[in-house]
Amino acid sequence: MATAMMSDLGRLFFMVAPFTILPVVAIDLFGPEPATSLAKISNQQLLIGLALPSLVAAFGQLAATHLVLRRDLTPRDSLNAAVAAFPLFALAQVMMALPVGLGLLLVILPGLWLFGRFLFLSGAVVLNEPAAPLQLVQRCWALTAGNSLPLTIFLVLGLFGAIGIGLMAEGAGAVLDVVARFLGAPSVGNFLHALMPGIGNCFVTVGIGAAGAAAYRLLAPNRS
């Protein structure tokens, strides 16, 4: 599966990029100013800066999952499949957002455990076994039974990997911004500073979608 993903990385990246890079760049350049502290975050900043880009990226993640599961199809086929499956996928995400979010906010490990049990496979499940949102969540729970510890360890490692990619992307953007400003092109610097985190976000989204597809292929034959 890892070899297959690497061979398809170009297709995956360019398919997911419009749903990850463009929103990040647009919000950074044209969105509201970021809050200076958690206490000062407004509803508008939460909606525009977090909820909307997360929702759009989730669509790209779903398309990536489909393309990894069905390598014989085209990105257009995967986008069409994501369009059809996204309403159920989004409802399942919303249904479990509160318990998973509280778990992540209060104590990281229980939150990752809940994410692994309820949501990690949800994209692959909804693409292969369409069902009502509650049945989708129940299917994810059944598929991951007995594998919660390995999944949680994998997600912890993945979290550190995502943080590392984000830090590297932000650092690269900051360096390019400084260089562009030194050369007298501050607008180019602003754009590059916004672009690099968007590229990092794209790679993370592709990775999550591909990892969910790989886990589903491993677990589904024994539980179908």
Listed in sequence order, the residues at least 6 apart from 161 whose beta carbon sits closer than 8 Å to its beta carbon are 207
pLDDT at 224 over 60: no
| Residue 161: count of CB within 10 angstroms of its CB | 13
Location of structure tokens 């369409």:
130
Which pTM value belongs to this model? 0.85
Q: How confident is the model over 88-139, as pLDDT tens digits?
A: 888 888 877 777 777 666 667 777 888 888 888 888 998 988 777 788 888 8
Q: How confident is the model over 196-210, as pLDDT tens digits?
A: 999 999 999 999 999
Hey, where are the domains in the chain? 2-223
Mean pLDDT of 164-170: 94
If DSSP states are collapsed to H, E and C, what string results for the chain? CHHHHHHCHHHHHHHHHHHHHHHHHHHHHHCCCCCCCHHHCCHHHHHHHHHHHHHHHHHHHHHHHHHHHCCCCCHHHHHHHHHHHHHHHHHHHHHHHHHHHHHHHHCHHHHHHHHHHHCCCHHHHHHHCCCCHHHHHHHHHHHCCCCHHHHHHHHHHHHHHHHHHHHHHHHHHHHHHHHHHHCCCHHHHHHHHHHHHHHHHHHHHHHHHHHHHHHHHHHHHHHC
Rounded to an integer, what distance in angstroms lies between the CA atom of residue 30 and that of residue 49? Answer: 11
At 223, the pLDDT band (50, 70, 90 cuts) reads very low
Q: How confident is the model over 33-86, as pLDDT tens digits?
A: 766 665 666 666 666 777 788 889 999 999 999 999 998 899 999 999 999 999
pLDDT at 142 over 80: yes
